[in-house]
Amino acid sequence: MPTPAPDRRRPARRRRVLTGDRPTGPLHLGHYFGTLQNRVRLQQTGVDLFLVIADYQVLTDRDLAHRPAEHAENLVLDYLAAGIDPELATVFTHSAVPALNQLLLPFLSLVSVAELGRNPTVKDEIAHSRQAAVSGLMFTYPVHQAADILFCKADLVPVGQDQLPHLELTRTIARRFNDRYRTDLLPEPEALLSDTPLLLGTDGAKMSKSRGNAVPLGATEDETARLLRGATTDADRHITYDPQRRPGVSGLVRLAALCQDRDPHAVAEEIGSGGAARLKATVTEAVNEHLRPLRTRRAALATDRGHLRAVLDAGNRRANAVADATLAEVRAVMGSV
Ligand code: ATP
Ligand code: MG
């Protein structure tokens, strides 16, 4: 049998996966079901996993990044508690990898102002922005994110639904770069959505760290109960699963179902005429039960902040080596000196 020709586009290397979070607060159930579980699964299949703590991106929608270093360490804590293995994954902060930011300039030249202006996620984040005026970075951060993904030539990006427009732009940038410089240097990454690409928060909108509607993974059982008690429901006492017409109630039903690995209709039926109070009690118990092992690991890991910083140091070193190599290749194909 003839040996297949080597694939020049993809030299023999482990599949790379890049994904990340902004250090704006502790990770919540939306992250967990939206992307974190997928990250851990991918790690277990042996991919080369990169996790970016996107600290520069925090500046997109607020004038000040509050305690970014502390938030970054806490993200590492949440990752490890959820099952990310620092021996297998590269966890790094954006601001520690200067070569990554140098990729921003050539990439920015490949997109139009109009393209940036019509990005629906950017529009949504502007609406929730805590800035006095919309900054230039707000419009350009999807390109920044493209640099995060392309610096390590990621093949796959496990994200929530809100990130799909950004990922499409990353693919466009990779394609245009390859066309303009007649190269095949940058692979076009694929998005990986979970079965829960958009988990709603206690107010019925996308659960987000910065919108006060999240249940953090590291919350205590009592805090979890308090947050879920405050969730928005509706006037109909009979509990059903109907995401279109009853987003609040259905969001809670879905959360219980996810935690118990059950069908949401069955969960709703069981609660039936028990009303919102019974629904909230059920969800609280399901969440606390499901997260108990994670929370136990988290509490143990939290006693050693030095370890969390060491994980970041090692990740930053590796990410810098990868980014330096990609920047050198990019400069070479661009003919830079
Ligand atoms: P912020 O409010 O500061 O923007 P966030 O809660 O939106 O925080 P990010 O750090 O912006 O969190 O998002 C990190 C990743 O988690 C992204 O891939 C995003 O799509 C995913 N994600 C965030 N919230 C949810 C959610 N409610 N459901 C599913 N995925 C989510
Ligand atoms: Mg967000």
Q: How does pLDDT run across 130-148, given as a tens digit for each residue?
A: 777 888 888 899 999 999 9
Q: For ligand 1, atom 20, which residue shows the shortest CA distance? A: 160
Distance 336 CA to ligand 1 centre (A): 37
* Domains along the chain with CATH numbers: 16-196+305-334 (3.40.50.620), 221-300 (1.10.240.10)
Q: State the closest ligand 1 atom to the C-alpha of 196, by its place in the atom list counted from 1.
A: 29
Residues 83-114: tens digit of each pLDDT: 999 999 999 999 999 999 999 999 999 999 99
Token pair, residue 202, equals 């206690």
Residues 262-272: tens digit of each pLDDT: 999 999 999 99
Average pLDDT over residues 19-43: 95
Distance 208 CA to ligand 2 centre (A): 6
Distance 244 CA to ligand 2 centre (A): 23
**Mutation choice for ligand 1 from 29, 35, 126, CB with most ligand atoms inside 8 A:** 35
The contacts of residue 6 (CB under 8 Å, 6+ apart) are: 12
User: Using 50, 70 and 90 to split pLDDT, how confident is the model at 1?
Assistant: very low
Tell me the pLDDT of the chain averaged across its residues. 93
199 lines ligand 1 (CB under 6 A): yes
Q: For ligand 1, atom 16, which residue shows the shortest CA distance? A: 31
Q: Exposed/middle/buried for 124, CB within 10 Å: 0-12, 13-18, 19+?
A: middle
Using DSSP, state whether 306 is helix, strand or coil.
Answer: helix
Distance 89 CA to ligand 2 centre (A): 22
Predicted structure pTM score: 0.92
Q: State the closest ligand 1 atom to the C-alpha of 207, by its place in the atom list counted from 1.
A: 27
Distance CA 49, CA 46 (A): 8
Q: Regarding predicted confidence, which is higher, 190 or 10?
A: 190
Q: For ligand 1, atom 8, which residue shows the shortest CA distance? A: 209
Cβ atoms of residues 77 and 302 within 8 Å = yes
Cβ atoms of residues 26 and 218 within 8 Å = yes
- Which of the ligands is closest to the CA of residue 54? 1
Taking the mean position of all CA atoms in its chain, how far away is CA 125? 15
> pLDDT at position 106, please?
96
Strand 48-53 and strand 89-93: pairing? parallel
Cβ atoms of residues 292 and 284 within 8 Å = no
Query: Strand locations in 134-197, DSSP E?
Result: 156-158, 190-192
Distance CA 116, CA 32 (A): 29
Residues 288-299: tens digit of each pLDDT: 999 999 999 999
